[in-house]
Amino acid sequence: MNKINKLMIKVITILFLLSPLAWGVETMTIDPMHSPHWSAMHERFLNNGTVVFDEKVEVFAPEKAEDSLNVPVSFKAEALDAVEELVVFADFNPIPLVLKFRPGELQPNLSFRMKLQQGTPVRVAARTSDDIWHVGTVWIDAAGGGCTLPSVGISSGNWTETLGRVDANVWERSGNNRLRMRIMHPMDTGLAAGIPKFHIENLFIRDANSQSVLAELDLYEPISENPMLSLDVGRYSQFSVKGRDNNGNKIEAIISQ
């Protein structure tokens, strides 16, 4: 074998070892869900960045939504290294963007509930420090209407009594505590007749002792009324939660075991 052929083999080998395929990651060329909206989602929410569909981003949800206003979704991306941001979106929702999660000091795992207007792929895209988006996807079938109905609180007229209240608990687990909190808020999409958009915009989760920011969340209209959020928080057990909604109402709470 001549020197040129040997050099070519070395180059091809190096390129392969640097590629996602060498590490068992499926390269994203065609959307496995064959969604006609994928290209628009990729451009709009992932800035046309490099994408791979990756089994390390696990997404858990029911195959069929029993209640389109409250569809439970969970994801885990802890198998990835250096996750900087996670973006959740639903292709066929009239408002596709669901949430953004910057896990910071916490694990890139989250549980929440969302509204679905119809059956749709629900995507969780995790951006690692090398600027690659690792995408996990599930299909959820839904009867519809979840995004165009008013919240129960708005309909009953008593939402002002509890607006912004945080109910939370910390469960101690070996090496990885669990924080679960419910924030009272109508989370209206603005798509119900006569009811304007009204939703929580952001939340900062801090260590109650040092006040250092542990994680950040941006929430959007498709999050269910009175958002229920569960996070893996490692050794931390005392938290300060602060945020605001799109009308400037503040959310503040101290959480401990």
pLDDT of 166 higher than 90:
yes
125 inside domain? yes
Q: Determine the Cα–Cα distance for residues 191 and 154; give it in Å rounded to an integer.
A: 13
Element (H, E) at 204: strand 200-207
Is 10 within a domain?
no
Task: Name residue 167's beta-bridge partners.
Answer: 182
Q: How far apart are CA 90 and CA 98, in angstroms?
A: 7
Asked, for residue 136, whether it belongs to a domain, the answer is yes
pLDDT at 152: 84
Domain count of the fold of the chain: 1
Mean pLDDT of 156-166: 86
Nearest to 95, CA basis, from 62, 118, 64, 72: 118
Beta strand pairing status for 64-65 and 132-142?
Answer: parallel
Mean pLDDT of 57-67: 96
Q: Which domain holds residue 93?
A: 27-256
pLDDT band at residue 6 using 50, 70 and 90 as cut-offs: very low
Domain contains 4 = no
Across residues 17-33, what is the average pLDDT?
A: 55
CATH code for the domain of 152:
2.60.40.2470
Structural domain includes residue 156: yes
Residue 151: closest CA among 143, 163, 169, 140:
163
Tens-place pLDDT, residues 181-230: 999 999 999 999 999 999 999 999 999 998 999 999 999 999 999 999 99
- Say what the pLDDT of residue 29 is: 53
- Token pair, residue 80, equals 């990835």
Query: Of all helices (H) and strands (E), which one includes residue 7?
Result: helix 3-18
